[in-house]
Amino acid sequence: MGKITDFQLTEQFFQAGRDFLGGQMPIMCGAMTWISDPRLVAAVSNSGAFASIAAGNSPVEPLCEQIKETQRLTSYPFAVNLVTVAPAYKEQLNAVCRMGLPYIIFAGSFPSQDDIRQAKDSGAKVLCFASTLSIAKRMIRYGADAIILEGMEAGGHVGHVSLTVLLQQVLFELEDIPVFVAGGVGTGKMCAHLLLMGAYGIQMGTRFVMAEECNAHPDFKKQFQISKARNAVATPQYDSRLPVVAVRALNNKGMDDFRKLQLELIQQLDNEQITRESAQEEVEKFWMGALRKAVQDGDVEHGSLMAGQSVGIVKKQETVADIINDVVNETEEELQRVKSIFT
């Protein structure tokens, strides 16, 4: 098919997601700790898509500074992604609400109904992650304005069900609420078919790591370029006393270090040398520190190379604008191809 000059179908299928997100395209850049900084978020927003500042484990003051810096760099809407299990979560939520941001995304675990009400009372639209139909319905009942449906193919903290099953169990069952789809999404062709299934838009993380505006260390990006989908593996849980939210990352010595840490913590639990809560805190500290080592210092052996399985698709560095244009062009091309089958 030749060069796309008429984006009529993309315009049609983008409209609902565009209306919700307030930008030109319902293409979301997933929030990635140590990566989703003001420069990347502003570049995505200025290119017509949508991005989020990743609050992660940040203290409140640096988080507020990042938000203000992003507001200086773009006049377009963006979100703040809050991790509900972060030590400063409540303080972060209070601060973000005081700043009156237009969008708040809850991640990590499930926000309380009061948390969602607080966010909405501040004027924000609320998006919540869901990995099952029951979780999605609970978040909707609590007041969520939209759902991000994420399959286990995604990078970072993930659930246990593949996107192909979740589409059938959740996307096809939910009505009258925007659903954005994430987890292994890396192409416009996939975006087209998700839109045809009823999605309001897509979220990509791994592909945006390869953006020229992304601050990740060159060695971190190089690992993405040379890796295959099967290299992005999820961590196991060894003991129910130490519930571990699976983390998908490229397999390296850092993953081995985490396996050893779990076994050490389980032994400490056996010997009553540590509480369950303290053990879980140690797990989260490990991931935040290991991710920083990889992203900022380029330690690709012992750092955490969090990546989705779409890493097997990502092979080159591009500007944010080029990534978004490629996705949009490919989406329109695929929608036109599908239309031609029935005309």
Q: Tens-of-pLDDT digits for all 343 residues of the chain?
A: 445 556 789 999 999 999 999 989 999 999 999 999 999 999 999 999 999 999 988 999 999 999 999 999 999 999 999 999 888 999 999 999 999 999 999 998 899 999 999 999 999 999 999 988 999 999 999 999 999 999 999 999 888 899 999 999 999 999 889 999 999 999 999 999 999 999 999 999 999 999 999 999 999 999 999 999 999 999 888 888 888 778 899 999 999 999 999 999 999 999 999 998 898 888 888 888 999 999 999 999 999 999 999 999 998 999 999 999 999 999 999 999 999 999 8
Report H helices in 25-108: 38-46, 60-73, 89-99
Both 89 and 229 in one domain: the answer is: no
In a domain, 138, yes or no: yes
CATH number at 95 reads 3.20.20.70
pLDDT confidence of residue 3: 54
Same domain, 268 and 134: no
Alpha-carbon distances, residue 237 vs 111, 127, 247, 255 (angstroms): 23, 28, 10, 13
Question: Are 163 and 131 members of one domain?
Answer: yes
Tokens read off for 24: 């030109």
Strands 232-234 and 247-250: antiparallel
Cα–Cα distance between 142 and 330 in angstroms, integer?
Answer: 36
Q: For residue 253, give Cα distances in angstroms to 32, 105, 250.
A: 21, 32, 10
CB 229 within 8 A of CB 139: no
Same domain, 163 and 251: no
Q: Are 186 and 203 in contact (CB under 8 A)?
A: no
The residue range of the domain holding 37 is: 8-215+315-341
Asked if the structure places residue 3 within a domain, the reply is: no
